[in-house]
Every structure is written in structure tokens, then in C-alpha cells.
Amino acid sequence: MSSTFHPAQLASSWPETQSLRGLCLQVAPEVAASYRNVGQFVQVRRPGEAAGGYFAIASKPDGDRVELLVKHGAGLPDELAALPAGAPLETTLALGAGFPLDSSRGRDVLLFATGSGIAPIRAALQVITADREAWGAVDLFFGVRTPDDLPYRRDLEAFEQQRVRVHRVISQRPPRGGHAQYVQERFRAELPRVGNAVAFLCGLQGMIEGVTQALCACGMPGDRIHLNV
């Protein structure tokens, strides 16, 4: 992986949930040019630091700005969340192969995410909905612990207006009773068609394993299941 860092600047940041913060970075031209496929990620650090953290890019390739979704935590995540607009940062070029989204045109698309794993899936949905007729049916299965843990609420509603079926999956049992669900359980219950579909997954390992097993049981070939972990 590239260890060369390029100057960047925090353009803006905002709370998505109590535990997740969105960041918009203005990046160097060479970094912007390196971001070609949704599912790629960057290493981010503060100037002068020896190393940084890796974050999936949460926005589609578009100009000299990229968005990230940072989960609060000790060290760099909390430092990034506390920075004011205009703060200097550094990033590597976009890393990883990303999702083969372009080669999936014409197919149905199944998207699976948990928690902050929605970041590259959101970027994929931005590409899909910008040219919606190029894909078939699109389903998003998105799991969080509680309804308050859902980031990108307005984006999810906008995606639904573009004929994306959004399945919001809550894994914590409601305090007044009810049934908690996991993403793989919701998929089995809904069972959208998989014959022509391609799947993209990002999130907790248990979800990835459970969904992969469910997809294979439905007859989806393994080479049409793509992971971002």
C-alpha cells in the first residue's frame, strides 16, 4: 500500500449519529484522480504524525472532495471528529480495487451493510441512482443496533425515491417488546431475486458470513459476491 501522503483540508464535518461523524475532505488533485471505484479507501493522518487510520470513502468519485464516515473512538477518530473546518490533514492516494460496479450494469443489485460499513455502500448507491436505468432492481439491507444509530437518513429516503428498496434492520430488541433482527435474517425473509443479481457487502464479520451463506444457499455464484472489510 502507498505510504506517500498528500496535503488535504477538512472542508466540513457534521454529526450523523451519536457515534458516527461525517467528514468532507478537500484532497489533492492526484488523490482525487486516484479514486476511480467505489469501495476504495484512504489513509488519513494529521500533519506530522507517523501513521494514520484507514477509512472507506463514503461518496462517489466526483471532483476534489471525498466524504468519510468516522466512528467515534479514542485516538485519531475522536481527534478528527473534533477538528474545525479548515484544519490541515494528509491522505494517501485512494487504495484498494474497490467494487466492480461498472461491470455490474444491467444486473439486479443487492447491497448489505452494518453500522459504519454503510460508507462504501452509500457511495455505490450514489453512482447507481445517478444513472438508475443502468441497473435492475436494487435492494439495500442495512443493519444497526437501534433506530437512533441510523446514519444518512435523508440519503436513504432519497434513494427510496429512486426505486431503491431500503430494508432498515434493527438488531436490538425494542424495550416494549418485539422482534430484533439481523441482516441475514431479513434477507431470508424478503428473499429478493438473485438469479441475475450481484451482491456487495461491508460491515461486521458475522453479517458478512451469514449473508454469504444465505446468498450461496439461494444459488448465487461466489464470484458475484463482493466484500469490503
Question: Residue 1: pLDDT above 80?
Answer: no
Q: Are residues 46 and 77 in the same domain?
A: yes
| Mean pLDDT of the region 180-204 | 90
More reliable by pLDDT, 190 or 160? 160
Which long-range contacts link 14-20 to residues 24+ away (Cβ below 8 Å)? 16/69, 16/151, 16/152, 17/148, 17/149, 17/150, 17/151, 18/72, 18/148, 18/149, 19/71, 19/72, 19/149, 20/69, 20/70, 20/71, 20/72, 20/115, 20/116, 20/149, 20/151
Residue among 98, 68, 131 at smallest CA distance from 200: 98
Q: What pLDDT shows up at residue 33?
A: 97
2 pLDDT band, cuts 50/70/90, is: low
Same domain, 197 and 110: yes
Considering the domain architecture, whether residues 163 and 77 belong to the same structural domain is answered as: no
Same domain, 151 and 45: no
* CATH label of the domain that carries residue 176: 3.40.50.80
134 and 41 in one domain?
no
Instruction: Supply the angle between the helices 183-190 and 205-217 in degrees, to the nearest 10.
Output: 20
pLDDT for res 194? 87
Please check whether residues 196 and 177 belong to one and the same domain.
yes
Q: Point out the least confidently predicted range of 16-30, 48-62, 87-101, 183-197.
A: 183-197
Residue 157 covered by a domain: yes
In a domain, 145, yes or no: yes
Last residue of a domain, one of 64, 91, 118: 91
96 located within any domain: no
The string of pLDDT tens digits covering residues 206-224 is 999 999 999 999 999 999 9
Whether 152 is in a domain gets the answer yes
Do 59 and 108 lie in one domain? The reply is no
Do 50 and 158 lie in one domain? The reply is no
The per-residue pLDDT for range 77-136, each reduced to its tens digit, is 999 999 999 999 999 999 999 999 999 999 999 999 999 999 999 999 999 999 999 999
pLDDT above 90 coverage of the chain, percent = 86
Q: What is the pTM of this model?
A: 0.94
Q: Is residue 97 part of a domain?
A: no
Q: Can you give the pLDDT at residue 23?
A: 98
pLDDT band at 181 (very low <50, low <70, confident <90, very high): confident
The rounded radius of gyration (Å) of the Cα atoms in the chain is 18
For residues 1 and 76, the model is more confident at 76
Q: Would you say residue 21 lies in a domain? A: yes
Q: Of 91, 123, 155, which one is at a domain's C-terminal end?
A: 91
The parent domain of residue 168 ranges over: 102-228
Residue 14 has pLDDT above 90, yes or no: yes
Q: Which residue has the higher pLDDT, 2 or 219?
A: 219
Single out the residue of 138, 137, 140, 135 nearest to residue 113, CA to CA: 140
State whether 67 and 87 are in the same domain. yes
- The reported pLDDT for the residue numbered 87 is 98
Instruction: Quick: pLDDT tens for 38-59.
Output: 999 999 999 988 889 999 999 9
Domain annotation covers residue 126: yes
66 & 128 share domain: no
